[in-house]
Chains A and B, each alone.
Chain A
Amino acid sequence: MDIALEQVEYRYQPNTPFERLALHNISLNIPSGRYLAVIGHTGSGKSTLLQHLNALLQPTKGQISIGDRTIQAGTKEKNLKEIRQKVGIVFQFPEHQLFEETVEKDICFGPMNFGVPQEEAIKRAKELVDLVGLPKGVLEKSPFDLSGGQMRRVAIAGVLAMDPDVLVLDEPTAGLDPRGRHEMMEMFYELHRAKQLSTILVTHSMEDAAAYADELVILHHGEMKRKGPPREIFSHPEDLESWGLSVPHIVRFQSLLEKKINHKLGRTCLTTEELAGELQAYMNRGGGN
């Protein structure tokens, strides 16, 4: 499902002393199957932006088309349910949204709201428990008896159970241990590939953005400063620094190394493997002697 934002502006609490311009002049195209990462400093409007993607917030100017629906500023939209089913959002700290007596009921809450019959919802819940890496037998437990990391997984399963076409992730790995982070990011990437999902990831981790995204969007004070493939964006570290951002460790390492050996490698490497490959090629050409 394609999503397109045209000249979107969003103001919080318009016409009060608390008025705040959160987004400004955002035009963005997200074709189906794209993995997009949104990065920006705290308070740059990332979370506001992603709430527009399933019409939780509606723009104060401009328009957004989500699939075949168009949401125009200033018009009251009815029947947003179909959009919300197609675009699943995993909010920051999603474990706070659990409320049912059992994990199974909680996972079924989403799909059943969208009219999926109970048997089907339970079937999905059973599959998802495996997929998100929860132990067997967790379905009958109360979500409040689980550990923080497990609660997070249940909450994510609850969103995936709606079978969305677009998955929006707001810092899904914040507060997890390194292994949990890695597992979760891999799981999302696997889903993205297997189901041809559009994935939109909001993250502070430049490493994740570099490793998974096809395209990066940089927000700064509610404005879109840059858009493009990670390799291109991360090859201009000065720009990133001016917006309070940094490059992934591996990119920084590469630039330090290039200074040391006084030689530019072929391209900006985004992962350790890429850099290892480049170095190998450089050595084979006889450099470094």
Chain B
Amino acid sequence: MMEKMIFGRYIPGDSIIHHMDPRSKLIFVFAYICIVFLANNLVTYGILTMFTVLIMLVSKVSIRFFLNGLKPILWLVVFTFFLQVFFNRQGDLLYHYAFIRIYSEGIRQGIFISLRFLLLIFLTSLLTLTTTPISLTDGIESLLNLLKKVKFPVHELALMMSISLRFIPTLMDETEKIMKAQMARGANFSSGSLKERMKAVIPLLIPLFVSSFKRAEELATAMEARGYQGGEGRTKYRLLIWKAADTLSLCLLALITILLAVFRT
């Protein structure tokens, strides 16, 4: 089940996008999320789609894998589409049967909104697919540094983030291991009534929590033993380097934004 999900996973690769600075990628994605809402007609959606496809091609992540990974959330897209189709009452009446009325504007909006959805999902998952969790947290920490002025605990947040990200796969492995061990003892996770299923989770959750507590304690001890005393006065091992490609990508984004602003109706 979890094997199919592509959210938050990283695929090692060697494209330009893989080598970009995480800061520029983060800014890019954040800005992109905003400008997607500028599009409101055929031309602007066309520009956006072409742009997104281009980025996906540049990233060299296999499109087939992309589409496979999106299957679990496809129903959400389809659901929004039909919501629009059935409940939008603008434009010409195209079809009429009993209480179902389908209008041209409904279909148009349905397509546009599902497309907007897809574009957002594609680009945001591309961020995690091409950026290692570690450089992602480095990027976030560096972007949040401005907030230090208002006493925001940036270092602590970044540390917690990188530790959590580091332990997601470990915990997933552990979950699977415990699940299998309990299945070997006759536990059943995949059938039965809702109540039975909820009860079946206990033999999985308790060992997971217990081992997380142990792990946290061990990690804290190991960090202290290696001289960790908090964020003050630490130097950095991984340095973020802003390259030409990063500036270029943001310029490209600005260009697209201008195009969208010009062509939108």
Q: Which of B62, B65, B183, B184 has the most CB of A within 10 A?
A: B184
B207 at interface, CB cutoff 8 A: yes
Closest-CB distance, A153 to chain B (whole angstroms): 15
A181 at interface, CB cutoff 8 A: no
Within 8 A of A (CB), among B181-196: 181-188
Q: Is A97 within 8 A of B185, CB to CB?
A: yes
Q: Is B210 within 8 A of A54, CB to CB?
A: no
Q: Is A98 within 8 A of B207, CB to CB?
A: yes
Q: Which residues of A contact B180 (CB under 8 A)?
A: 51, 56, 91
Q: Is B184 within 8 A of A159, CB to CB?
A: yes
Cα–Cα, bound, A13→B176 (Å): 14
Interface window among A109-117, A191-199, A267-275: A109-117
Q: Which residues of A contact B178 (CB under 8 A)?
A: 96-97
Residue in B closest to A168 when the chains form the complex, CB atoms: B184
Q: Which residues of B contact A44 (CB under 8 A)?
A: none
Q: Is A109 within 8 A of B185, CB to CB?
A: yes
B211 at interface, CB cutoff 8 A: yes
Q: Is A96 within 8 A of B206, CB to CB?
A: no
Q: A13-B3, A17-B11 are in contact. Are A99 and B202 (CB under 8 A)?
A: yes
One digit per residue, 1 when the CB lies within 8 angstroms of any chain B CB and 0 when it does not, for chain A 1-17 equals: 00000000000110111
Cα–Cα, bound, A85→B188 (Å): 13
B68 at interface, CB cutoff 8 A: yes
Q: Is B207 within 8 A of A97, CB to CB?
A: yes
Q: Is B62 within 8 A of A159, CB to CB?
A: no
A144 at interface, CB cutoff 8 A: yes
Q: Which residues of B contact A110 (CB under 8 A)?
A: 185-186
Residue in A closest to B6 when the chains form the complex, CB atoms: A16
Q: Which residues of A contact B203 (CB under 8 A)?
A: 97, 99, 109
A89 at interface, CB cutoff 8 A: yes
Q: A16-B68, A97-B178, A110-B185 are in contact. Are A144 and B210 (CB under 8 A)?
A: yes
Main SS at interface, chain B = helix
B174 at interface, CB cutoff 8 A: yes
Q: Is A85 within 8 A of B11, CB to CB?
A: no
Cα–Cα, bound, A89→B179 (Å): 13
The residue from B65, B181, B182, B186 contacting A85, defined by CB atoms under 8 A apart:
B186
Closest-CB distance, B66 to chain A (whole angstroms): 10
One digit per residue, 1 when the CB lies within 8 angstroms of any chain A CB and 0 when it does not, for chain B 41-74 equals: 0000000000000000000001001001100000
Q: Is A113 within 8 A of B207, CB to CB?
A: no
Closest-CB distance, A3 to chain B (whole angstroms): 15
Q: Is B3 within 8 A of A91, CB to CB?
A: no
Q: Which residues of B contact A88 (CB under 8 A)?
A: 184
Within 8 A of A (CB), among B124-162: none
Residue in B closest to A12 when the chains form the complex, CB atoms: B3
A249 at interface, CB cutoff 8 A: no
Chain A residues within 8 Å of chain B by Cβ, number: 28
Q: Which residues of B contact A91 (CB under 8 A)?
A: 177, 180-181, 184
- Interface size range of chain B in the complex: 20 to 34
Q: A16-B3, A96-B211, A99-B203 are in contact. Are A159 and B177 (CB under 8 A)?
A: no
Q: A17-B62, A91-B181 are in contact. Are A96 and B207 (CB under 8 A)?
A: yes
Cα–Cα, bound, A144→B209 (Å): 12
Closest-CB distance, A158 to chain B (whole angstroms): 6
A94 at interface, CB cutoff 8 A: yes
Q: Which residues of A contact B62 (CB under 8 A)?
A: 17
A221 at interface, CB cutoff 8 A: no
Q: Is A84 within 8 A of B182, CB to CB?
A: no
Q: Which residues of A contact B181 (CB under 8 A)?
A: 89, 91, 94, 96-97
Residue in A closest to B200 when the chains form the complex, CB atoms: A113
Q: Which residues of A contact B183 (CB under 8 A)?
A: 56, 84
Q: Which residues of A contact B174 (CB under 8 A)?
A: 96
Q: Is B184 within 8 A of A158, CB to CB?
A: no
One digit per residue, 1 when the CB lies within 8 angstroms of any chain B CB and 0 when it does not, for chain A 63-91 equals: 00000000000000000010011001101
Residue in A closest to B180 when the chains form the complex, CB atoms: A56
Cα–Cα, bound, A88→B181 (Å): 10
Q: Is A159 within 8 A of B185, CB to CB?
A: yes
A210 at interface, CB cutoff 8 A: no
A162 at interface, CB cutoff 8 A: yes
Q: Is B11 within 8 A of A114, CB to CB?
A: no
Residue in A closest to B203 when the chains form the complex, CB atoms: A99
Cα–Cα, bound, A99→B181 (Å): 12
Closest-CB distance, B172 to chain A (whole angstroms): 13
Q: Which residues of B contact A89 (CB under 8 A)?
A: 181, 184
Q: Which residues of B contact A158 (CB under 8 A)?
A: 185
24 contacts across the A-B interface (CB closer than 8 A) = A12-B3, A17-B62, A17-B65, A81-B186, A84-B183, A84-B184, A84-B185, A88-B184, A89-B184, A91-B180, A91-B184, A96-B177, A96-B207, A97-B182, A97-B185, A97-B207, A98-B207, A99-B206, A99-B207, A99-B210, A109-B203, A110-B186, A159-B185, A162-B186
The 6 tightest CB contacts between A and B, nearest first, are A113-B186, A110-B185, A99-B206, A97-B181, A89-B184, A91-B181
